[in-house]
């Protein structure tokens, strides 16, 4: 049944021509990890700190659990399961690893579902767009032929579950350092468990018909990447609360703009300067873990620390 749905969508895609696949691929990119980082950073730095924290935890936790499920199930992509499925060429670079559950769908549900569900998102238009993206991103994964309906439904369910769990956990720990420390330890523990599982798991060979269709080494790398992201989030948030304590309240457009500039410069320095050094010095697995942990830590702790360092002298001068 799932393959039949993909073949039906494939017929529509091919009848509409390449432009339809291009548009769908642009929409599907809104569920990528890169876009998630950009949206979370913008919300956290400039709009709503508490919501940004919830989104960061939700996306990171959902990614860890999703990667564990991918490694446990090891479901091949649709075109491996059935040669009649012809995925859109534009979507293939983002369709690596195993198929179940859909990472893009999980990320979209964690991110946009979290924004839509937040009581702090007061504008109906924003909620509407976010709900539309929770639906549209999974649909494009099927339309492009890189995921089955089961893949995307599982990804959405996982993303929404991470929204609910992350919000409840953060509200339970808010203002209580001991509880925040406990949550941090839980996040780090989940990350280390994923690293152990991903590294020790006995994966299928990934060879079908004499060609490699799913590289187990990529699955292990993705485990280290997702684990590093959650470690960075888990370490940064309690430290930011205790040592920095920046706020988004009462800042104007000018402050928002320079926060984006400063924060983006810090994140870019991590990815363009520090990450290559870490990969070279530590190797692929540990280097990827460290670089993603540092990126999350830079966005959630180092950038806010820079904001406070710059803002305090300015406020003192104004006074």
Task: Report d(CA 265, CA 306) in Å as an integer.
Answer: 11
User: What tokens were used for 76?
Assistant: 């091949």
Q: Is the peptide bond before 101 cis (omega within 30 degrees of 0)?
A: yes
Q: How far is CA 59 from CA 98, 143, 255, in A?
A: 19, 24, 27
How many C-beta atoms surround the C-beta of residue 122 within 10 A?
Answer: 8
The pLDDT score that the predictor gives to residue 293 is 96
pLDDT in tens, the chain (319 residues): 689 999 999 999 999 999 999 999 999 999 999 999 999 999 999 999 999 999 999 999 999 999 999 999 999 999 988 889 999 999 998 888 899 999 999 999 999 999 999 877 777 888 999 999 999 999 999 999 999 999 999 999 999 999 999 999 999 999 899 999 999 999 999 999 999 999 999 998 888 878 888 888 899 999 999 999 999 999 999 999 999 999 998 889 999 999 999 999 999 999 999 999 999 999 889 999 999 999 999 999 999 999 998 876 655 444 3
According to the model, what pLDDT value does residue 317 have? 42
């Amino acid at each position: 049944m799932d393959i039949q749905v993909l073949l039906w969508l494939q017929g529509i895609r091919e009848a509409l021509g390449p432009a339809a696949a291009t548009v769908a691929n642009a929409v599907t990119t809104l569920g990528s990890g890169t876009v998630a980082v950009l949206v979370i950073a913008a919300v956290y730095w400039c709009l709503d700190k508490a919501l940004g924290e919830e989104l960061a935890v939700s996306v990171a936790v959902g990614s860890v659990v999703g990667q564990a499920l991918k490694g446990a199930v090891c479901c091949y992509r649709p075109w491996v399961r059935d040669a009649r499925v012809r995925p859109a060429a534009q979507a293939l670079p983002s369709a690596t690893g195993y198929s179940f559950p859909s990472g893009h769908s999980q990320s979209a549900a964690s991110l946009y579902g979290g924004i839509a569900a937040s009581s702090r998102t007061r504008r109906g238009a924003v909620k509407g767009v976010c709900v539309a993206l929770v639906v549209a991103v999974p649909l494009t994964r099927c339309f492009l032929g890189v995921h089955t309906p089961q893949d995307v439904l599982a990804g959405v369910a996982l993303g929404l579950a991470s929204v609910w769990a992350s919000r409840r956990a953060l509200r339970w720990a808010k203002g209580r350092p001991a509880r925040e420390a406990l949550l941090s330890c839980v996040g780090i523990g989940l990350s280390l468990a994923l690293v152990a599982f991903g590294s020790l798991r006995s994966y299928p060979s990934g060879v079908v018909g004499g060609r490699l269709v799913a590289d187990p080494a990529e699955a292990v790398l993705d485990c280290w990447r997702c684990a590093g992201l959650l470690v960075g989030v888990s370490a940064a948030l309690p430290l930011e609360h205790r040592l920095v304590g920046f706020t988004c309240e009462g800042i104007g457009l000018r402050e928002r703009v320079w926060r984006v500039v400063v924060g983006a410069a810090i994140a870019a320095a991590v990815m363009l300067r520090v990450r290559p050094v870490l990969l070279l010095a530590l190797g692929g697995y540990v280097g990827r873990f460290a670089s993603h942990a540092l990126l999350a830590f830079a966005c959630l702790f180092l950038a806010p620390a820079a904001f406070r360092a710059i803002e305090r002298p300015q406020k003192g001068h104004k006074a």
